[in-house]
Chains A and B, each alone.
Chain A
């Protein structure tokens, strides 16, 4: 077992958690993260489910930064707002983390490790590097993701094993060079575009994703992938 390098101090690691109408599950995600000692930035993307009220008792005595978009903009926009904030707060490492708890907190050190060692600037989680975690992906989603991998590879010229995996980590310098203009879910492709444009070193890290009933019900339906593709193509052309 490798030890994480000493310069990778937890308090300098900022988790950016975009959340839209996920107040309840977000609260339990935050509780699960607290023992790990990271700084937590919640970006409430104009939720209408009473997220501020649900979070209020938690926020009162927990070390969580809370930001709120006055209107709903999309996950890409929320991530960018959270990154702007974290950088201003002196974050040295930024991790994109999902509100619904599908990303395991134990995966954070594996993402950060290669960055802290200076081996890469950006690390993205992959569900396809470890045969055991591939089995956790529902079959239909697996087929969809395989297709997305090919399309994303063609569009960004970055050939990864997984696509649209929202579990990512960046160094301070990398986060400053990346700017997401794609407000919706197409930001995942744009993110890779930005990585390539800024000539950042990217590495994939095996991470298992928990497919809970909640995340399955709430997650993007397969039909949405066509929408995302159209967004991506339009952005490329116009």
Chain B
């Protein structure tokens, strides 16, 4: 095994472990993550496998195929984060609105 393979596998397992324990508790995303990590380990150990898959779908190199998939994944993540951010913003708005409404100073109240 090459040094880079050991490093990549170690990092993959580490990230997978962190994600599983800390970030997600949904079964679907846990299973998806486990299979992703497993696939990653397989591809690291056997790099030619990606090239063979790439050839079978008409892409020249395995590296290129991974790049395309990475781009798609990035866009998906971006959209998910955007949506999440919008939802957070709406919650913040609601909280700030309630604070403003509760602290409203009406003219008659100031006289008292």
- Chain A: residues with CB nearer than 8 A to chain B? 43, 46, 59-60, 62-71, 73, 77, 80-81, 84-85, 88-89, 181, 183, 234, 238
Please give 11 more A-B residue pairs, beta carbons under 8 A apart, in addition to A60-B110, A65-B105.
A65-B104, A67-B101, A67-B103, A68-B103, A70-B99, A73-B93, A81-B97, A84-B97, A234-B82, A238-B83, A238-B86
Place the interface of chain B in its size category: 10 to 19
- B97 x A80 contact (CB < 8 A): yes
| Across-interface contacts of A84 in B (CB, < 8 A) | 97, 101
Asked whether any CB of chain A lies closer than 8 Å to the CB of B10, the reply is: no
Bound-state CA distance A167–B60 (Å) is: 59
- A69 x B107 contact (CB < 8 A): no
Give which listed residue, B90, B99, B107, contacts A62 with CB less than 8 A: B107
Compute the total of residue contacts between A and B using a CB distance below 8 Å: 56
Asked whether any CB of chain A lies closer than 8 Å to the CB of B106, the reply is: yes
By Cβ-Cβ distance, the 4 closest A-B pairs, closest first, are A63-B107, A67-B100, A66-B105, A67-B104
Q: Mark B77-112, 1 if CB is under 8 A from A, else 0.
A: 001001100100110110011011101111100100
- B97 x A68 contact (CB < 8 A): no
Nearest to B101 among chain A residues (CB) is A85
| Across-interface contacts of A183 in B (CB, < 8 A) | 89, 93
Closest CB in chain A relative to B92 CB, distance in Å: 7
| Across-interface contacts of A63 in B (CB, < 8 A) | 107
Bound-state CA distance A67–B89 (Å) is: 20
| Across-interface contacts of B93 in A (CB, < 8 A) | 73, 77, 183
- Chain B: residues with CB nearer than 8 A to chain A? 79, 82-83, 86, 89-90, 92-93, 96-97, 99-101, 103-107, 110
Ordered by A's residue number, 16 sampled pairs between the chains whose C-beta atoms are within 8 Å are A60-B110, A62-B107, A63-B107, A65-B105, A65-B106, A66-B104, A67-B101, A67-B103, A70-B96, A73-B96, A77-B93, A81-B100, A81-B101, A89-B106, A234-B82, A238-B83
| Across-interface contacts of B90 in A (CB, < 8 A) | 181
| Across-interface contacts of B104 in A (CB, < 8 A) | 65-67, 85
Nearest to A62 among chain B residues (CB) is B107
Closest CB in chain B relative to A165 CB, distance in Å: 24
| Across-interface contacts of A81 in B (CB, < 8 A) | 96-97, 100-101
| Across-interface contacts of B110 in A (CB, < 8 A) | 59-60
Bound-state CA distance A85–B104 (Å) is: 9
| Across-interface contacts of A80 in B (CB, < 8 A) | 97
| Across-interface contacts of A234 in B (CB, < 8 A) | 82
Q: Which of B86, B90, B105 has the most CB of A within 10 A?
A: B105
Closest CB in chain A relative to B103 CB, distance in Å: 7
| Across-interface contacts of B107 in A (CB, < 8 A) | 62-65
Nearest to A78 among chain B residues (CB) is B100
Give which listed residue, B79, B82, B86, B100, contacts A68 with CB less than 8 A: B100
Closest CB in chain A relative to B22 CB, distance in Å: 27
Nearest to B96 among chain A residues (CB) is A69
